[in-house]
Amino acid sequence: MPSRLLSTLLCPLRSYTARVTERADADARAAGLTVEVLPGGIRRYRDPRLDQLATRRTGEGAVNPVADPDWSQPRLVLVAGWSR
């Protein structure tokens, strides 16, 4: 009995999640992105133009983020008042 109740409650949630996922995938494809479905239902949206840019940059030689002005320096940002 409890499992039937749980599945009754989760069915609309799964349906909603599926609709939102389908809409996000359709919007991404319309914008020219590729959608990659990973294990566990995780989706990765990629822009093929950025892949071409990365390929072109690596073809020119190794990219040195320190010397390249198009790359920003990585920084560690801490939020004040945040503790573990």
pLDDT tens string 60-80: 655 565 666 666 666 666 666
Cβ atoms of 13 and 6 within 8 Å: the answer is no
CB-based contacts of 24, cutoff 8 Å, min separation 6: 43
pLDDT tens string 2-61: 778 888 888 888 889 899 999 999 999 999 998 988 888 888 888 888 877 777 766 665
The pLDDT of residue 47 is 86
Cβ atoms of 46 and 33 within 8 Å: the answer is yes
